[in-house]
A = this chain, B = another copy of it.
């Protein structure tokens, strides 16, 4: 297992962690100031300052992109909705390719309308079919563009509105169904998973499924912590070390399976970290990356 205690070369900052810091250029400058070597930006943050400007900043600071957030949201009530989702995912692939991201993270979606608070159906099975078909179609395009797709299983508390893929086993079953031959691209596997400890830490099958995934399918590793109590289903994630997740144990499993990429910090925290000065947030990420990841 790699020693993270001496430096933070394997730390990546998912820029959602810095939503309190203003626009993406400000966040990137702050990362550079702290010697951060990798980031993972969100599409809305990139769109706000422009793709080319983002690319320029990333190149100027010599940043790697441990991922790009996010594609997915495949389910829809009709064929036109599904086509629109595929179009949007192709644009996300193009952006990920432009920014040379290690992968495009897929938050696959679930019941149409639920994210806006008005689910139009209860049919989780239809949602799963749309997700299967959407990933299969997007994989063709992403493969040509050389962008690996990383299915992110989301915590089951997001099953209605954000993702109907909720365990690593289910995500890997989906990978095997869509890509049984484990096709490879210029950056390794064309299809795999993003393992975020926040979503999967509770799973009794986690260690076994990480081993099953293996190096090829492990495309991203996200860290934060589960707070006790947790006061909001979406935006009350904790800083590594402040909660109950045995992050280092899970990193041990991931590395035993062959993963050697970044530990990407992704913290949604409206009431705490998003309210703190960006330099405090980044200094804490760096310290906890050394001591609690």
Which chain A residues have a beta carbon within 8 Å of chain B's beta carbons? Answer: 111, 114, 117-119, 122-124, 128, 155-157, 159-161, 164, 166-167, 170, 173, 201-204, 226, 228-230, 233, 243-246
Contacts A229-B161, A233-B233 known; A202 to B123 CB distance under 8 Å? Answer: no
Q: Which residues of B contact A203 (CB under 8 A)?
A: 156, 166
11 contacts between A and B (CB under 8 A): A111-B228, A117-B229, A118-B228, A119-B228, A122-B246, A128-B204, A156-B156, A157-B230, A157-B233, A160-B244, A173-B204
Tell me whether A202 and B244 are in contact (CB under 8 A): no
What is the bound-complex CA distance between A201 and B173, given in angstroms? 19
Q: Are A156 and B202 in contact (CB under 8 A)?
A: yes
Nearest chain-B residue to A118 (Cβ)?
B228
Q: How many copies of this chain sit in the oligomeric assembly? A: 2
Interface contact B159-A202, CB-CB below 8 Å: yes
CB within 8 A of A246: which of B123, B156, B159, B229?
Answer: B123
Task: Give Cα distance in the complex from A122 to B245, angstroms.
Answer: 6
Residues of B within 8 A of A117 (CB): 228-229
Q: Which of A117, A156, A161 has the most CB of B within 10 A?
A: A156
Q: In the complex, how many angstroms separate the beta carbon of A5 from the nearest chain B beta carbon?
A: 19
Minimum Cβ distance to chain B for residue A208 (Å): 12
* Chain B hits for A201, CB < 8 A: 124, 159
A160 touches which of B155, B160, B228 (Cβ 8 Å): B228
Nearest B residue to A114, CB-CB = B228
